[in-house]
Amino acid sequence: MSIATTYSAQLVGLAIEIISVEVDISNGLHAFSIVGLGDRSVDEAKDRISAAIKNSGFTSPKQRNHKVVISLAPADLRKEGPSFDLAMAIAYLTATGDVQAPERNALLFGELSLEGNIRKTSGLLPLLCQAHRHGFTTAFVPTDNIAEASLAQNMTIYAASRLDEIIGHLSGDKPLCPIGPATLSPTLDYAHTTDMQTVRGNETAKRSLEIAAAGAHNIIMSGPPGTGKTMLAHAFHSILPPLSYEQAVEVTGIHSAARSLTEHIITHPPFRAPHHTASYPSVIGGGAIPKPGEITLAHRGVLFLDEFTEFDRDVIEALRQPLEDHSVTISRARGTVTFPAQCIFVASMNPCPCGKGIENGCVCPRREIDKYRRKISGPILDRIDIWMNVHKVDYDELSATTPTGESSKDIRARIIVARLRQEQRFKKYGLTKYYNSEMNARDIDLCVTLDENARETLKLSAQKFELSGRGYHRIIKVAQTIADLAGTDTIRKEHILEALQYKKV
């Protein structure tokens, strides 16, 4: 009887769970079983492993007259996906004495093809980033995952395209070279986005979007159809600064775990725009086994909900907690999972069911208008920092032959400076935050300075508009962002007055 153990891992939400792969071989009639609450893809691994071992030059388990039991521990945790194939194959070959056992601090990931090739696996980056906390310092990954795996730090990572390459490394015959760490380019290609200069008119709306981008403030744009709300939202993506290294690792890991990674490394803030027919789990996250939704996939980027009032009311109301806490907590009978949701929420809507608005000859009954607007509740509106009315563009501006206004590159440069000012201010007071929108009441008392005129103006405005506590602090946060764009840390009266212009009336 022989026994061997290797290690792999899987994600529970976005947290790592170490999986021990134990193989026991004993004499008897041929049998091959995998235990440990695996799904269908795990159970089918018996055939993939057997064929891969045979086609790598070793005797297949099906050609030996012995009993094989593979246990994936912990046994009460549901195992999903084919990424355990490599760990199970190496554990079997170790138990038979064909392969030298890997180090105990090594993790193995990869799906095996029948030919013995190692296929790409999903969710690898968050696993590698957390593995060192559990004492693991080495990992074997598929070659197709090199770009993603190279972002992980504190790990020695080997990449292989075939099972026999791993075997050659473990035996010492053909050692693999560890892959080097990735370096991110500080410049990005924004050619795929809509430049702000191509948007004619609506200078006030452009200014509000600049403020929203600088401080990561949530914004709603309201206006008749055809006034450019959707175009402005897509142009908004072009003025966002590139992600830092830490943010790029975080965002790439989320998309890898969600199996939505279309590029090797995400270096630009993601832009997610689900259709208004999207379901609650697809936007917020959920399922029997909780998966991240659109609001998590928009982490460090933009969640754009076009035709906001057409979304299901349950979806709209479910935004309350993530917009406030910047995270989504999903509870199921099997446990609770928390996903990050630090994104800029951008929404667009029509002023009424017909879309024209009162100033453009709206024919909707008052009752219908009130019903339409009630789809967005007060608590949701109270979590929106900026409200912007988008008006029709003058025909002279539309017919102009040359672009007007600033380019996205120029606006983005100001936003980068303003965000750097915010980050330095937070570091000064020992806060681990990036944007003004993340400040709570305590942070505002600690970090924000208002001159006397600004403080008096804010007090009178709060009394006149009967602002809630959240609304009062929201004005301060927007005013601080305006001050940062102006190059000053102190909030002045003009900053408060401009912030009040973006309040829903």
Predicted pLDDT at 403: 67
Predicted pLDDT at 190: 67
The model's pTM is: 0.90
For 310, the 3-state DSSP assignment is helix
Residue 180 lies in a domain: no
Q: How much is the average pLDDT of 281-288?
A: 88
Tell me the pLDDT band of 191, cut-offs 50, 70 and 90. Answer: low
Residue 178 lies in a domain: no
Residue 359 lies in a domain: yes
Number of domains in the chain: 3
The one-letter code for the residue type at 32 is F
Residue 188 lies in a domain: no
pLDDT tens digits for range 128-159: 999 999 999 999 999 999 989 999 988 999 99
Domain CATH number, residue 35: 3.30.230.10
Do 442 and 341 sit in the same domain of this protein? no
Domain CATH number, residue 438: 1.10.8
From 277, 211, 213, 205, select the one nearest 242 (Cα to Cα).
Answer: 213
**Which residue blocks in 270-375 are alpha helix, DSSP H?**
280-284, 294-297, 313-318, 320-325, 366-373
Do 155 and 209 sit in the same domain of this protein? no
Do 151 and 245 sit in the same domain of this protein? no
Domain CATH number, residue 208: 3.40.50.300
Do 269 and 149 sit in the same domain of this protein? no
Q: Across all residues in the chain, what is the average pLDDT? A: 91
Predicted pLDDT at 503: 85
Do 450 and 350 sit in the same domain of this protein? no
253 sits in which H/E element? helix 245-257
Which of 262 and 219 is assigned the larger pLDDT? 219
Predicted pLDDT at 65: 86
Do 237 and 270 sit in the same domain of this protein? yes
Domain residues for the domain of 467 are 413-501
Q: Is 423 exposed, middle or buried (0-12, 13-18, 19+ CB in 10 A)?
A: middle
pLDDT tens digits for range 207-240: 999 999 999 999 999 988 888 899 999 999 999 9
Residues 113-141 as b or e (16 or more Cβ within 10 Å = b): beebbbbbbbbbbbbbbbbeeeebebbbb
Residue 351 lies in a domain: yes
Residue 370 lies in a domain: yes
Do 212 and 265 sit in the same domain of this protein? yes
Share of the chain above pLDDT 70, in %: 95
Say if residue 50's pLDDT is above 90.
yes
- The residue among 353, 379, 409 that closes a domain is 409
Do 486 and 358 sit in the same domain of this protein? no
Query: 17-26, 112-121, 178-187, 302-311 — which is least confidently predicted?
Result: 178-187
Residue 51 lies in a domain: yes
- The residue among 355, 386, 409 that closes a domain is 409
- The residue among 409, 430, 451 that closes a domain is 409
Residue 179 lies in a domain: no
Predicted pLDDT at 365: 87
Bridge pairing between strands 15-27 and 2-12: antiparallel
Do 422 and 446 sit in the same domain of this protein? yes
Do 81 and 210 sit in the same domain of this protein? no
Do 203 and 120 sit in the same domain of this protein? no
Do 152 and 209 sit in the same domain of this protein? no
pLDDT tens digits for range 319-361: 999 998 899 998 887 778 999 999 999 999 988 888 777 667 7
Predicted pLDDT at 28: 83
The one-letter code for the residue type at 390 is V
Tell me the pLDDT band of 382, cut-offs 50, 70 and 90. Answer: confident
